[in-house]
A and B are shown apart, each in its own frame.
Chain A
Amino acid sequence: MDVIKTKNLTKYYGEIKGVEGLTFTVKKGEIFGFLGPNGAGKTTTIRTLLGYLNKTKGEAYIFGKNIEDEIVEIKREVGYIPGELNIYGHLTGKQFLDFFSSLRHREMTLLDDLLKIFNIPLDRKVKGYSKGMKQMLGIIQAFMDDPEMVIMDEPTSGLDPLLQQKFYEFLQKQKKKGKTMFFSSHILSEVDKICDRIAIIKEGELVALEDVETLKSKSGKKIRLKIKEKPESFKGPKNMIVKEGYIEFSTTDNIDKWIKQFSKFTVLDLQINDFSIEDIFIHYYEGES
């Protein structure tokens, strides 16, 4: 089942392109990574999906409901953690959560569990919270009524590594329950760690949409080799470079072919690695292969 389905979704700010022609689906129960540097159109996409911005053209459906006509119904099943968290400073954490609970009209089934994971001073006014505490409060409000999907825009910013780890574990638990997560980030290591599929957005357009593992396998292997002989004597593929005495190249060929080639030389060091999300991301952004 498709939780999010967009077709040619486009948003222009007057003459300026926000996003254009976005067509993708997010499936139920997956953690969908949405990657792109600042200004690529990640937040515009999210804000258009959630009805903050009116789309210029195209279509988008969440849980089969049209974002244009049924956004209130959609929001009953969708939690949201904005990229820039601004919470009413004059309220205490408890008052804020009580207010938001009253707007959701649902039982806050996950609230106690979340408060055990994210320990925040609920009786203190939010204006006295640190960035990390505000982020935790943002996470709690998004998940407290156990929505079917949570859209997150850079959700771990401000969290220390320990809390980040707890958050990833919490997301995996939610995933096992069949919940869907739309995870926008530019922290590639976390996307690599938790996402099932990723979309890469560049200048407002999708440039990649694939399973993380498929994307990695399609990208091939990175080979780094040091030989006793002159590096130039090794005939590698077109993308081969020599850097600090190492021969470096990537290949999607059968690795055995290259091992046989290496055996003709005196190998001092050899590293064969899969592509990381970071390598793939750089490939799309800088044209490196």
Chain B
Amino acid sequence: MNSILSFKIAIQTVKDNLRISLILIGLFGVMAIVYSGMFPAFKDMLTQMAEAGGLDPFSSFFGVAALEMNTFVGFLYLEMYQIFILIILAIVVGFVAASMISKEIESKTIDLFMSNPVSRKQIIFEKFIGLVPMVLIINFVTMIAIMGTTIAIGEELNFSYLFMTHIVLIPYLLSIVSIGILISVIIDEKMKGSIIMIAAIVAMYVYQTMGQMISAIEFVKYFSLMNYTNLFDVLKFGKVDVEGFIILCTVTIVTLIIAMIYFEHKDIKI
């Protein structure tokens, strides 16, 4: 029990991922500044398009948020959150998580690592915990960058809603991390695992948009974790999809438990 509470593996995981974390924090911070800072340049053009009904065709693909692309909230949601956070950040975080265990197996460092008195469940749990700081820091640095840029360009944005948006993103990103860890436990080749993770995120995005566009196959959107974030509603109205929040938390926990059980019974062949 003491060894679980000491979080030595988690701390080492944080240290091991420090460089990639710093790069990602810088990258997403800059992206947030660039994308939110771009709005004034597009504002007039988007307003004209909205008045002429030019945004309507986008709504079937991007949802109701597309109709408000001429507002700062709509622009931010579509350009920043839907593309860079829900897809790109998820891909990056998932890519890292999907190699957590497999890279130890592939490089055979798992052999010495597991000679220590640590349980397999502890390894999975602490590897997960070790990725949480990276996720949280990227998430909140992005939020702070958006806040700063909003003030700098003189746009209006409810910062409480912005904060709530980034709270909702936590279970979403953590569910991606736990799915990545599950993949890394099942697939021994780290590159293969990471590619499967990317494919899964892209597939979720496709399910989400297809489910929104075609009512006959609306049910497919429920297979997408993005469906449970409803970030536009949070960002614009401060309305959190509590059910979706609980589903994302549940997916995180259940996936992590499955990863632990699978790893517990897995033969570590070198």
- Interface residues in chain A, defined as those with a beta carbon under 8 Å from any beta carbon in chain B: 13, 47, 50-54, 71-73, 75-76, 78-80, 82, 84-88, 90, 99-100, 102-105, 138, 141-142
Contacts and interface: CB of A to CB of B under 8 A. Distances in A.
B8 A102 contact: yes
A100 B3 CA distance: 12
A71 B108 CA distance: 20
Given A72-B117, A103-B9, A105-B3, A86 B268 contact: no
Contacts of A100: 112, 116
A103 to B, nearest CB: 4
A95 B265 CA distance: 30
6 contacts: A13-B269, A75-B115, A75-B118, A103-B8, A105-B3, A142-B115
Contact of A103 (B3, B268, B270): B3
B268 A53 contact: yes
Nearest to B268: A52
B108 A54 contact: no
Interface string B94-126: 000000000000011101101111110000000
A84 B108 contact: yes
B117 A80 contact: no
Contacts of A85: 112
Contacts of B215: none
A52 B118 contact: no
A47 B268 contact: yes
Contacts, number: 69
A52 B267 contact: yes
B111 A84 contact: yes
Most buried by B among A71, A79, A103: A103
A82 B9 contact: no
Contact of A90 (B16, B117, B268): B16
Contact of B109 (A47, A76, A88, A105): A88
B12 interface: yes
Nearest to A138: B112
B9 A54 contact: no
Contacts of B16: 90
7 nearest CB pairs, A to B: A80-B115, A86-B108, A103-B116, A75-B117, A52-B268, A102-B8, A82-B111
Contacts of A142: 115
Given A75-B117, A100-B116, A103-B8, A52 B111 contact: yes
Given A54-B267, A87-B109, A105-B3, A82 B117 contact: no
A73 B112 CA distance: 16
B2 A105 contact: yes
B117 A105 contact: yes
B265 A54 contact: yes
A138 B3 CA distance: 22
Interface in B65-117: 107-109, 111-112, 114-117
Given A75-B117, A105-B3, A86 B8 contact: no
Contacts of B116: 75, 100, 103-104
Contacts of A99: 8, 12
Given A99-B12, A105-B117, 18 more contacts: A13-B267, A13-B269, A47-B270, A52-B111, A52-B270, A53-B268, A54-B265, A73-B117, A75-B116, A76-B117, A78-B115, A79-B115, A82-B111, A84-B108, A86-B111, A90-B16, A104-B116, A141-B112
A87 B110 CA distance: 9
